[in-house]
Structure 1
Amino acid sequence: MLAAGCASATLIVTANSEEIAGEVKEQIKDFLKDRGLELSNEKTLITRVDEGFDFLGWNFRKYKGKTLTKPSRKSISMIVKKISSIIQKGKT
């Protein structure tokens, strides 16, 4: 019997510097490689928290020492489209 599958996981790692984040990324790559898996370069991003990042429909950003969480622009756009569609259907 043969089986094929695809697994996807999202992982957020925080670090004090970009250098440490890069080292952790390499360790994760090695860990996955030992298990026959690989880290997607297209989907892997190292960014500063003060620049913000989107995750599961939310935008996370650090501003003046506080972490701000709000719906991502993409999520807001989708909600506006849904509401607009409902309103348009109600007009007919």
Structure 2
Amino acid sequence: MIEAKIYRGIEYVRISELPEDQKTSIKNWLNIDVVIKIQTESILMSDCILFKDYEFWFKKIFTKAVAAEEANAVTSEFKTKKKPVGGLAFD
């Protein structure tokens, strides 16, 4: 989870500054109404979300999805292999 940036008391994160895996995942989750624009003295940032929304997504959605993917990867490594054709059967 990245840290919040603060501009005039608004805690936010920029989607474009997220790590690539988070950026892809959060774009699939976001509702357009959650995205905000922040105008600073020098730039208009149109890809921001409030930190509280990012934090909720990270803790409730992203970390669970990553954990599930990791569990599936481990499970697939331990699947039993087929018995070889003509192999001996042990009782």
Which structure shows the bigger proportion of residues in strand conformation?
2
Which category describes the TM-score, using the shorter chain as reference length? Answer: 0.3 to 0.5
Structure with greater helix percent = 2
Q: TM-score, normalised by structure 1?
A: 0.38
Larger radius of gyration: 2
Relative contact order: is structure 1 or structure 2 higher (C-alpha 8 Å, sep ≥ 6)? Answer: 2
